[in-house]
Amino acid sequence: MLQSVIFYALAAGTIASAAAVAFSRNIVYSTFALLGAFMGVVGIYILLAADFVAMVQLLVYVGGILVLTIFAVMLTQGIGDVTISNRAVGSVPALVTVAIAGAVMLYAIAHTRWHQAALHAAAPTTYGIGNAFLGDYVLPFEVASLVLLAALIGAIVISRHEARE
C-alpha cells in the first residue's frame, strides 16, 4: 500500500514538473522544473529496483546534461528577455493532437489485459549487468567502445582541421 502511494506521488510530481517545463514562459523556470522531472524518474527507477538505471539517470541527466543546460541558460545574456511574438498560433492543433493521443492511450489502458508478475525480492542489478558485459555481450561492448573511440578521433581531427583554417 505504501509503495503504491509513493509511486503515485512520484508520478504526479514528475508529470507536474514536466508540465511546468512545457508550459512555463520563463526558460530558467523550465530548466529548474526539468530537475524535478528527472528526479521523479530517478525515484520511479528506484521503486522498480533498477538501481543501475537510477544512478545512470542521476549522474548523466541530472549531474551532466541538466547542469550544463542550467549553466548555458544562466551564462547566456538576455535569455530571459526573449519574447515570442505570437504564442496562440499552434494552440488548436496542439490541443487536438493531445486529445487524440490521450484517447488512444486511455483506450489502450482500458482494453489491455494486464498480467501481474509474482513479487520477488529486490536484488542489485549491477552484478548481472557487469557479468553480461564481460560474458555474453563482451564483443558488442568492445565494438561500441571502438565506435566511440573512432568518433572521438574524428571529432579531434575535424576540430584540428578547422583550427588550422
Cell of 129: 549487468
Question: What pLDDT does residue 134 have?
Answer: 87
Instruction: Tell me the per-residue pLDDT of 58-114, one tens digit each, with 9 for 90 and over.
Output: 998 888 888 888 888 777 766 656 665 566 677 788 889 999 999 999 999 999 998
Question: What pLDDT does residue 111 have?
Answer: 94
Q: Give the span between the Cα atoms of 155 and 150, in whole angstroms.
A: 9
Q: Is pLDDT of 160 > 90? A: no
Q: What percent of the chain has pLDDT over 90?
A: 41
Assigned CATH for 1-81 = 1.20.120.1200
Tell me the pLDDT of the chain averaged across its residues. 86
User: Which SS3 state, helix, strand or coil, does residue 99 take?
Assistant: helix
Q: Could you state, in order of their start, the residue ranges of all structural domains in the chain?
A: 1-81, 125-165
Question: What pLDDT does residue 94 have?
Answer: 83
Phi, psi torsion values for 123, nearest 5 degrees: -130, 150
Question: What pLDDT does residue 40 have?
Answer: 96
